[in-house]
Structure formats: structure tokens, C-alpha cells
Amino acid sequence: MRLSQASDFALRILMATGQSGDPQTVDKLAVSLGLAKSHVMKIVAHLAKGGYLETTRGRGGGIRLARSPAAIRIGEVVRLMEPDLGVVACLKPDEATVCAFLPRCALKGAMARASEAFLESLNEQTLGSILAGTQKVTPV
């Protein structure tokens, strides 16, 4: 199963924000993680809308976790970033799939269960548990 680049970046942004006790900026995150500023802005906005980050403009503002790291489940973040995680086209909600085996295909159910098991496995980890075993990123 392959996650999108957006999921990868979202998890890295949450990890960097969770490691720092100070509010982060888009510029700081982009430089320290080696990501394009435009990507960071887009993903921070998506994570804020999903309730994982708080953003405050102006002096003294910045980007902070909206929840404690222990309350952020990795599978939930991936679910937010991957709304169409279906491993085959017939599981993707926006795909107009024409398949001779639908609607009575046992493969579709097996793939759906595998996808759900993957997310449940990720949900066993929280941002807090990940941060506890991760070396700190050196801010630039």
C-alpha cells in the first residue's frame, strides 16, 4: 500500500511541530523538513481544518498542535490525508469503475478489509509514541 506525498509531508509536519515546544512557522517547517513552502502551507491548512493543528497569525502566532501528541492517532491523520485510500479502483469513492465482476466481487471485500486493517494498525500508534522513539530534527 502506498501513501501519497501529502500524507508523508503531513506526518513530518506533525512530528516537527510536536517536537518543538515553540510555535512553528511555515518558513521554519519548510526549511527544516526540506519541503516547498507552498506544500507546507497547503498541508498545514488541511491539518488545521481537520483539527490537528492550530494556526495563529501575527506576532506571537504560529503553528501549534491542536491536541496533545498522545491524542493524535496516525491512522486518523492518514485517513484525513487519503480520502480515497482504496487499493483498487472500485474502492475509490469518486471512480466510475466499470467491472464485469461488480457488484458480486469477493476481491473488493478482501481489499476493503485489508485497507481497513492497515489504517487500524496505524491507529495503534499516536504522534506521542512516534515522537518518543524519534530523534529530534535540528531546526535550521
Q: What is the model's pLDDT at position 27? A: 94
Mean pLDDT by groups of 10 residues along the chain of 140 residues: 89 94 92 96 97 92 95 96 75 63 76 88 94 69
- In the prediction, which pLDDT does 20 show? 84
Residue 110: predicted pLDDT: 84
Predicted confidence at residue 105, as pLDDT, reads 78
The confidence score (pLDDT) of residue 133 equals 83
Q: Do residues 140 and 28 lie in contact, with contact meaning Cβ atoms separated by under 8 Å?
A: yes
Locate the domains of the chain by residue range. 5-132
pTM of the shown model: 0.83
Q: Which pLDDT belongs to residue 91?
A: 64
CB 16 within 8 A of CB 32: yes
Cβ(115)–Cβ(86) below 8 Å = yes
Number of H helices, E strands in the chain: 6, 2
In 23-125, where do the E strands start and end? 53-56, 62-65
pLDDT at 138 (0 to 100): 58
Query: Would you identify the CATH topology of the domain 5-132?
Result: Arc Repressor Mutant, subunit A (1.10.10)
